[in-house]
Structure 1
């Protein structure tokens, strides 16, 4: 489970991250990152729409994403807000595939001078 202080619960911050943040996409995920030094620690929110599938599929995808994101909190590119949006293909994706796509997306969000 994602620690409470890392959970994004304010709809206004969701909206800001999606509208003004840096965006990168993979086959199964779209990541929106809005840097904000006023947020400590960084917060993460999830969007899994009905296009992903029925309630069982959506909840499975969201649980996997929460678990994966918890493992990769240290890879966030600083302090800010991350919104992880699942594409419909996430419903059929394996755990390893989602993990690879999340890593790839987080790597793309890193500032150019800090990529390894």
Structure 2
């Protein structure tokens, strides 16, 4: 389970991450990452910790499969939250193949997507996610 301060809950936060963030697609999942430079709701400009949310549709499988995929993704993201910049919004969207994928395959795809987002960040283009 993700700690409360690391969970995306509001629809607006999901929309911000998906619409305004960077995206990295893999065969089993798509990761959307949006980095906030300042938080207008926090005095002093201190950024909150990175927050993550998950989208697992019925295309992944029945409720048992969807919940299994969500649990696996939550565990994987929890281990990687410290690598994400403060204030980040992360949405991990499972694709249909994730329902039949092993834990290790999900981990490889998640790591590859995060590496790609990090590589894009350090490529020097403006408006991209930075650490």
- Regarding TM over 0.5, the answer is yes
Matched ranges for 1:61-80 at <5 A: 61-80=69-88
Structure 1 runs of 4+ aligned residues shifted over 4 Å read none
Q: Is the 8 A contact 1:46 1:62 kept in 2?
A: yes
Cα deviation for residue 20 of structure 1 reads 1.3
Cα deviation for residue 79 of structure 1 reads 2.9
Cα deviation for residue 113 of structure 1 reads 5.3
**Number of matched pairs:** 114
TM-score normalised by length of structure 2: 0.82
2:2 partner SS: coil
Structure with larger Rg: 2
Structure 2: tracts of 5 or more residues without a match? 40-46, 125-131
Match of 1:84 in 2: 92
Structure 1: tracts of 5 or more residues without a match? none
Q: What CA distance in whole angstroms lies between the structure 1 residues aligned with 2:48 and 2:82?
A: 13
* CA-to-aligned-CA distance 1:48-104 (integer Å, 9 cap, x gap): 001100000000000000001001112224531000000000011100000111111
Cα distance change on mapping 1:77 and 1:41 into 2, 3 Å: closer
What is the RMSD computed on CA atoms of the aligned residues? Answer: 1.5
Match of 2:114 in 1: 106
Q: What CA distance in whole angstroms lies between the structure 2 residues aligned with 1:85 and 1:57?
A: 14
TM-score normalised by length of structure 1: 0.92
Matched ranges for 1:1-116 at <5 A: 1-37=1-37, 38=39, 39-110=47-118, 111-112=121-122
Q: What CA distance in whole angstroms lies between the structure 2 residues aligned with 1:36 and 1:57?
A: 33
